[in-house]
Structure 1
């Protein structure tokens, strides 16, 4: 009597196609994503006194510093918007983007021990970082909305229909940070210098992004460069929708979207290629 042939429920192999992203498999591991997000949230404040209140302290103190340095001393324009609200808008968006980018760029190095012991879709880790930081962003958005309502009822800000684009802008920021983060993470498996360069580069990138100034304050030549910065369309649209100020145009947002989703595709494919054999070089 012949034994029934066994059928494998899971097959783990490294020679899959470069464009086989296994997104369906990532979805099957959604419980693992939830577990990692919960772990990050709890471990981040487990031994702190103030806990999640740090979510508010960071943007408040950063906004105060920007108000003093760039608003009072440097005298940078805010296009007539209240300075506190203008800087708080920029800080809130930038904190989310920079946290996602720096966190995602360290995926392979920071999780080598886990990756070497158990199998799960590697895309789970960068997605976890984006979602974890989204929770922090949500808390900081509450602070921004509270400040916005204060100035709105004073008649100092004039929001418009573009305020409804906020969820799409958040998706664009997450996609940009995810794409760039996966590219840098793939590079750091062989070139550790890239990780050090990234921290410095992120700080510089903030100053070529309209975080502390509006694009209208730039000279004509620099406006052209800023126009092709993927974050410019996001930041200008956000400030235009909520505060009613800025030189926003729909073409700027379209260009940002095209560049961001192209980089996300490149980053995902690169990540998929490197994760097959990164343990040999980490």
Structure 2
């Protein structure tokens, strides 16, 4: 019987030394980029494949939230929106917040939502939250088109709405901070929920509280000065102000607060990935 040569041997397992916590495994993630594309398609299209309206739900949920917030905070509470039409202010804010929450949910549901797949085949687990962030960016593109149409409508009607080009060039920084902080927080929660399942019961409430505490449905200028100085400890507030300053020409975040928010977002992301990589080694035993 012919013995296989070294070149003919097929290895089924590769033993590697444990990597340090700061190893993000991005090289391995790049080798599985085709799988990431498949997951993007799954998250963006297949998730609503058997629904009546299909991918339109990517637009309907933020739009419905915008209508409710416009009625509650604009018509009833009459919170000043810095001269911007309440609907446009709320839609712009929900457009950015929706991107943050989708990045968070994609990372937070990684282990519990894909345990069946993870137990059968190996691939970089980070492919799941990364693909979720990319599909969230596609949803943001759909919402951004509606934002442009709404902006054109209000300008045509003679409303005092403008786009601050000087601040708009920094808008990608706001999007980067939202993605990093959303994925980082989601990864931290995902790592903790592999052992503490009841944490999932508080995620929805936590996101709601975080939204109301992050100047999403109201501008920072609506807060009293005694509260505003403490509110700025929330790194998401300068990010929201930065996004609205470019898209609506309102808000005036300081450069210091923006750089602090960017640094905190990067730190949260690195801590989240470190906890995520540590939890993926043993989560199958506890899920």
TM superposition score category, shorter chain reference: over 0.9
Shift of 1:12: 5.3
Q: Which runs of 5+ in 1 are unaligned?
A: none
Quote the residue 1:91 is aligned against. Answer: 94
Q: Is the 8 A contact 1:102 1:199 kept in 2?
A: no
Quote the residue 2:189 is aligned against. Answer: 184
Quote the residue 1:222 is aligned against. Answer: 227
Q: Is the 8 A contact 1:70 1:212 kept in 2?
A: yes
CA distance in 2, matches of 1:14, 1:85: 53
TM-score with structure 2 length normalisation?
0.91
Quote the residue 1:5 is aligned against. Answer: 6
Q: Which runs of 5+ in 2 are unaligned?
A: none
What is the aligned residue count? 282
Quote the residue 1:156 is aligned against. Answer: 160
Q: Deviations over 1:45-72 (max 9, x none)?
A: 2122222333332233222211211111
> Considering only aligned residues, what root-mean-square deviation do their CA atoms show, in Å?
2.1
Quote the residue 1:165 is aligned against. Answer: 170
CA distance in 2, matches of 1:261, 1:16: 20
Q: Is the 8 A contact 2:22 2:270 kept in 1?
A: no
Q: Is the 8 A contact 1:228 1:255 kept in 2?
A: no
Q: Deviations over 1:247-279 (max 9, x none)?
A: 322222111101100111111111111111111
Instruction: Summarize the alignment of residues 115-264 of structure 1 with structure 2, pairs less than 5 Å apart.
Output: 115-153=118-156, 154=158, 156-160=160-164, 161-264=166-269
Shift of 1:9: 9.2
Segment of structure 1 superposing worse, 136-145 or 219-228: 219-228
Q: Is the 8 A contact 2:45 2:54 kept in 1?
A: no
TM-score with structure 1 length normalisation?
0.93
Shift of 1:42: 2.4
For the pair 1:267 / 2:249, whether they are aligned, the reply is no
Runs of 4+ with deviation above 4 angstroms: 6-10
Q: Cα 1:3–1:83, aligned 2, differ >3 Å: closer, same or farther? A: closer
